[in-house]
Amino acid sequence: MSAAIQLVNQSLVEADPFEKRIEKPHNNVSLFELAHEQRLRRALSYIAELQAEVRTLREELARAERTIAQNETLLRNAMVREQELRAEMFRDK
């Protein structure tokens, strides 16, 4: 399959006048392969973008989880302190 791939120098194709391009025989397999490679490059680029976005979202999730854990610790400490103050208040009476 890889032997069927033929690279096309785009600058040479664009430099030729339109009439000369019509006279040249077209190799449809090569054009198809080139289009396939372009789609593959776009797909790989899109996959890389999505992977970067997933990394960013995972970092944000980790930060949020740390914040939640800190807030839970503060809440537990506040509840313990409240119980201590209530116990102290009833001891004094």
**What digits encode the pLDDT tens for the residues 21-64?**
555 555 555 555 678 888 999 999 999 999 999 999 999 999 99
The secondary structure of residue 26, as a DSSP letter, is: P
Residue 16, token pair as written in the block: 């030729």
CA–CA distance, 72 with 85 (Å, rounded to integer) = 20
Exposed, middle or buried, 34 (CB in 10 Å: 0-12/13-18/19+)? middle
- How high does pLDDT run on average in the chain? 80
CA–CA distance, 27 with 13 (Å, rounded to integer) = 13
Q: pLDDT at position 46, please?
A: 97
pLDDT at 69 over 70: yes
pLDDT at 74 over 70: yes
Greater pLDDT, 90 or 63 = 63
